[in-house]
Homo-oligomer: A and B are copies of this chain.
Amino acid sequence: MGPVQGDSNTNINGKEQNNSNNDTIMPKEMYQAPACLKIPLTPPRKLLMGPGPSTVPPRILAASAIPLIGHMHPEMYQVMDEIKAGIQYVFQTQNELTLAISGAGHAAMEAAVCNLIEDGDVLVSFVAGMWGERFAEIGERHRAVTHRISKPLGSVFTLEEIEEALKSKKPTVMFIAQSESTGTILQPIEGIGELCRRYGTLLVVDSVASLGGTPMFMDEWGIDVLYAGSQKALNCPPGASPISFSQRARDKIAKRKTKVTSFYLDTNELANYWGCDAGPRRYHHTGPISTLFALREGLAILAEEGLEKSWEKHRRISRLMWEGVEALGLELFVKDEKHRLPTLTGIKIPTGVDWKKVCQYAMNTYKIEIAGGLGPESIGKLWRIGAMGYNATEHNVNTVLRVLSEGIKQCKITE
């Protein structure tokens, strides 16, 4: 491939050049516009009862379509301030460094790692499903000395097990998921923060699939970095992910010898962009304006309802779900009720049933999402049915269980 300037007759890559344009040499034969883009976008309307994204209510969809303002306009800074206040509320924290990462929950996970970890820092990740494994993998990529403490899918970790790991590995950072959604597990968090303080470890918690659906007290529980997703109980479109850093976490970041590898996720920059430091706000990147409008609306809905009522609603609806599942003669994946996620219910696949066909039956017949497992340890073992935020209604529970029951009857493996 050669420079084409003034080279009007050279054959490059089999294309004739010409000079039809005054400013730029254009190839004679351009690649044509794809025909698929000439067909209007009309995705089917679905009831999303999987692990997320959950169905987004009309009020939040409407917020997504509000005409844009500039990412550095005063009104946008106000929206960001309000989002920050909303996240502080749902996290139950007064941390100043509280904001939404401009990306998926995975970007927030990566922000936790890349800000806290420097080469050779020790990380302990408690793994009972995909999220602990992902955090460990991201830690390794960021050159942490990484230890996995692993238990089978569907397990929780006890304070004794956690203390043992802190004592023996002396990690700089430990990770645990409150919501290990691949196993539909609710991991108790109370008490871990106190242990982490005793052993000089920073505590990172993933609440992606639980936030808003079950109690979370970031300050009270001594969590140093907490992050979540927007597309679960908050019912927002994905693309902006709440995160908060304690003063201890900020102190560790302030003492870094090296810059955070990621500029995009560097909390020193994000703190300024989100008005969490004293300086006037500088340009850092262009935030996802429409997604932030939607996130603000989701937080407003939750603030109007009140956290306690939302937690109570998820408790009530999840109990209806669990009773309904057992009434169908099915077995819940998590035995101990207090370790079941109130946002996402795991149901064991009965012998002789093709789990995938049941999901397809629900989707093809009713446009209802019933999810299978996620990750090698989880797929084929359980269905996962979500009832999150706006979707946590008695009607939805009855509907999805009726469809599940129908699907199982239709999809018995006969051979």
Q: Which residues on A are within 8 Å of B, measured CB to CB?
A: 1-5, 12-13, 15, 21, 23-27, 30-34, 36-38, 41, 43-46, 48, 50, 52-53, 55-56, 61-71, 73, 75-76, 79, 81-82, 85-86, 88-89, 92-94, 102-107, 110, 114, 134, 137-138, 140-142, 159, 188, 190-191, 193-195, 197, 214-215, 217, 219-222, 229, 231, 237-239, 259-264, 283-291, 293-294, 296-297, 299-300, 303-304, 306-308, 315, 338, 369, 374-375
Q: Which of A260, A291, A296 has the most CB of B within 10 A?
A: A291
A43 adjacent to B56 (CB under 8 Å): no
A-B contact pairs, 5 of them (CB 8 A): A13-B220, A23-B338, A103-B288, A238-B288, A239-B289
Residue on B nearest A196 in the bound complex, by CB: B1
- A341 CB, nearest partner CB in chain B, Å: 12
Number of copies: 2
Contacts A24-B215, A106-B263, A264-B104 known; A238 to B66 CB distance under 8 Å?
no
* Set of chain B residues within 8 Å of A13, measured between Cβ atoms: 219-220
Residue on B nearest A239 in the bound complex, by CB: B288
- A188 CB, nearest partner CB in chain B, Å: 8
Q: Which of A31, A215, A259, A283 has the most CB of B within 10 A?
A: A31
B239 adjacent to A15 (CB under 8 Å): no
* Set of chain B residues within 8 Å of A300, measured between Cβ atoms: 37-38, 41
